[in-house]
Amino acid sequence: MSLFLGLDSSTQSLSACVIDAEGGEFVAEEHVHFGSDLPHYGLESGFAAGTEDGEIFSNPLMWLEAVDLLFARLVTKNVPLEKVVAVSGCGQQHGSVFLNSQFESSLDQLSAGSSLVAQLGGVFSRPVSPIWMDSSTSSQCEEITQSLGGAEEVCRRSGSVAIERFTGPQIRKFAQQDPTAYRETTTIHLVSSFLASVLSGRSVAIDTGDGAGMNLMNLTNGSWDGELLTATAPDLGAKLPPVSPSATITGKVAPYFAEKYGLNTNCQVVLWSGDNPGSLVGMGAAQPGKVVISLGTSDTLFAAMPQPVTDPRGFGHVFGNPMGGFMSLICFRNGSLAREAVKEQFELSWQDFELTGLARTEPANGQRVMLPFVADEITPRVSSSAMIPCGWEGQPSAAECVRGVLEGQFLNMKYHADWLGVETEEILLTGGASENDGIAQTAADIFGKKVRRLEISGSAALGAALRAAVAVGDSDLARLEEVFSAPTPGRDLLPRPEYTSRYQDLEKVFAEALRKHFAVQ
Ligand code: ADP
Ligand code: XUL
């Protein structure tokens, strides 16, 4: 039996997926929820606001403690870790980890007699990690854009215009605000490459999938772009690890994991990638022609693309596809945030979303829409703190708000995905909220496409396991996808034709509301 382990360090949790590639079976799934399993960090959803407007931080020590806890749980469940041939992983994208000169030597000396937190507590030159929800770097984005001679040039090189949450602008802000700590920083990692380094017991490369989310990598050659580095922060080239193809094998797992948790001493580590690139693979969408919508903490819509095509509106991104080529991605920050806000406001359960919300209202809410942004949004870039109901005379009811948030979110996605140009008959749905049949049906009706779901909702961890199997084993991705990424029979939802024209009209109402309230074209 050859097992492969995939890990996913996302915003709210760390997940593991173990597969038997030859036998075609899922062997184990395991999770550590940062808020409930590690409450002593005080980060209920895995992050906290900083002191300045728009700042959002997480704690890299919490991610390390989660790694120890996750492996301990796999051992308790008798998962045969000695049979794991290779491990890979993925992380929430864009987040950065700032490390000092002790990083490499501390990794090299990790002892199984103590914890990761106890041994790596002193390696950070910055105690916090800014993450993808941070929107505090507008002035740094402007400065980088000006240095390069305009947004189009930044986009041509890096696949995205300068974006607040991307790592480059975040690094620039840190270098400006705390030049001493920046000077003491010897290595800057992404969440993915940081954890890949811990597993490898040495500092390893950033992969081209996640590296593209930094505004620092040149898409055409998959290397750091000298001009973007210079425009971002002093001496940055010396602080960044190299960038390498996602399929790179970094070497054997650190002895720490073999001794402490029984991983095989020959177990290989494959570079980690971003959670969305990982999910592209897990969903069986690494070949062009399929569109995936992930409903996690953020909502994302992505697809593989053979050649980079950039979003004329500047909201979308091009990342590296871990299996080669490129992928497009559009991120919507008010994903579960907005759905949870409605759920909490009206004290509903997720089941009530279907029973109280969707069942008691008519599709299209009487041709009225809600602009579904309870916090600042990335796509489109708008500042907001509450949903805006458009067309109601009084206050909308709880049921209308449930329908309004969901319809508003999928209309917003459809409106902003028109540049992708992918012809597809079906949408693959993943992420925590994809479990909800009412939410999935709303997506099917609004996009007018069949919606399909996989057996497991953790497609990013699965993608990591599949990548490990392809990079190290002799497995063929197409065969693995047929077994592990096949949509579950009986879970498909078809668009209901009686609502098609209603939703086509509602799209125009939504676009008009965006124009009126936020001047979005
Ligand atoms: P991430 O990987 O970004 O941390 P997940 O994909 O695990 O997030 O999704 C977690 C979110 O899914 C939760 O925050 C919750 O809002 C949402 N969720 C979980 N179950 C349901 C459900 N049955 N209906 C709607 N949303 C759900
Ligand atoms: C993508 C993005 C988020 C994070 C967290 O650009 O910012 O989807 O990867 O999941």
Q: 55-79, pLDDT tens digit by residue?
A: 999 999 999 999 999 999 999 999 9
Q: Please report the atom of ligand 2 found closest to the CA of residue 296.
A: 10
First vs last C-alpha separation in the chain:
55
435 lines ligand 1 (CB under 6 A): yes
Ligand number nearest to the C-alpha of 333: 2
Residue 456 has pLDDT above 80, yes or no: no
Which DSSP letter does residue 355 get?
I
Residue nearest to atom 12 of ligand 1 (CA): 432
Topology of domain 284-455+489-521, per CATH? Nucleotidyltransferase; domain 5 (3.30.420)
Residue 471 has pLDDT above 80, yes or no: yes
The boundaries of every CATH 3.30.420.40 domain in the chain are: 3-277, 284-455+489-521
94 lines ligand 2 (CB under 6 A): yes
Residue-level pLDDT at 279: 97
Q: Please report the atom of ligand 1 found closest to the CA of residue 336.
A: 16
Measured CA to CA, the distance from residue 206 to residue 203 in angstroms comes to 10
What's the 118 CA to ligand 1 centre distance in angstroms? 31
**Is CATH 3.30.70.260 the right assignment for the domain spanning 3-277?**
no
Which DSSP letter does residue 427 get?
E
Strand partners, 99: 124, 187
Residue-level pLDDT at 306: 85
Residue-level pLDDT at 124: 98
275 lines ligand 2 (CB under 6 A): yes
Report residue 170's pLDDT band, with 50, 70 and 90 as the boundaries: very high
Report residue 258's pLDDT band, with 50, 70 and 90 as the boundaries: very high
Give me the torsion for CA of 109, 113, 116, 122, rounded to 10°.
Answer: -60
Residue nearest to atom 10 of ligand 1 (CA): 432
Is 398 in contact with 346 (CB distance < 8 Å)? yes
215 lines ligand 2 (CB under 6 A): no
Paired tokens of 336? 């579960």
Residue 520 has pLDDT above 90, yes or no: no
Residue nearest to atom 7 of ligand 1 (CA): 432
Residue-level pLDDT at 316: 95
Residue-level pLDDT at 319: 97
pLDDT in tens, 215-248: 999 999 999 999 999 999 999 999 999 999 999 9
403 lines ligand 2 (CB under 6 A): no
Mean pLDDT of 330-350: 96
Measured CA to CA, the distance from residue 443 to residue 494 in angstroms comes to 10
Query: For residue 304, which phi and psi values (nearest 5 degrees)?
Result: -70, 145
pLDDT in tens, 82-120: 999 999 999 999 999 999 999 999 999 999 999 999 999
> For the chain, what is the mean pLDDT?
96
pLDDT in tens, 10-23: 999 999 999 999 99
In testing the pocket of ligand 1, which one of 10, 132, 297 has its CB within 8 Å of the most ligand atoms?
297
What's the 297 CA to ligand 2 centre distance in angstroms? 9
Residue-level pLDDT at 473: 80
Strand partners, 447: none
298 lines ligand 2 (CB under 6 A): yes
pLDDT in tens, 271-330: 999 999 999 999 999 999 899 999 999 999 999 998 888 898 999 999 999 999 999 999
Q: What percent of the chain has pLDDT over 90?
A: 94
Q: List the one residue out of 455, 460, 427, 466 whose CA is nearest residue 443.
A: 427
Report residue 521's pLDDT band, with 50, 70 and 90 as the boundaries: confident
Residue-level pLDDT at 474: 79
Ligand number nearest to the C-alpha of 459: 1
What's the 130 CA to ligand 1 centre distance in angstroms? 22
Residue-level pLDDT at 284: 96
What's the 92 CA to ligand 2 centre distance in angstroms? 6
Query: For residue 461, which phi and psi values (nearest 5 degrees)?
Result: -65, -40
Note the helical H segments in 427-472.
437-447, 459-472
Report residue 212's pLDDT band, with 50, 70 and 90 as the boundaries: very high
What's the 390 CA to ligand 1 centre distance in angstroms? 27
Give me the torsion for CA of 510, 515, 519, 520, rounded to 10°.
Answer: 50
Q: Which helix (H) or strand (E) holds 244?
A: strand 243-244
12 lines ligand 2 (CB under 6 A): no
Residue 153 has pLDDT above 80, yes or no: yes
Q: Please, which residues have CB within 8 angstroms of residue 61's CB and are 6 or more apart in sequence?
A: 41, 117, 120, 121, 124
100 vs 103, 211, 384, 433, 496, CA distance in Å?
A: 6, 21, 38, 39, 56
pLDDT in tens, 22-42: 999 999 999 999 999 999 999
Phi-psi region of 136 (alpha: psi -120 to 50; beta: other; left: phi over 0): alpha
What's the 215 CA to ligand 2 centre distance in angstroms? 14
Q: What percent of the chain has pLDDT over 70?
A: 100
pLDDT in tens, 125-140: 999 999 999 999 999 9
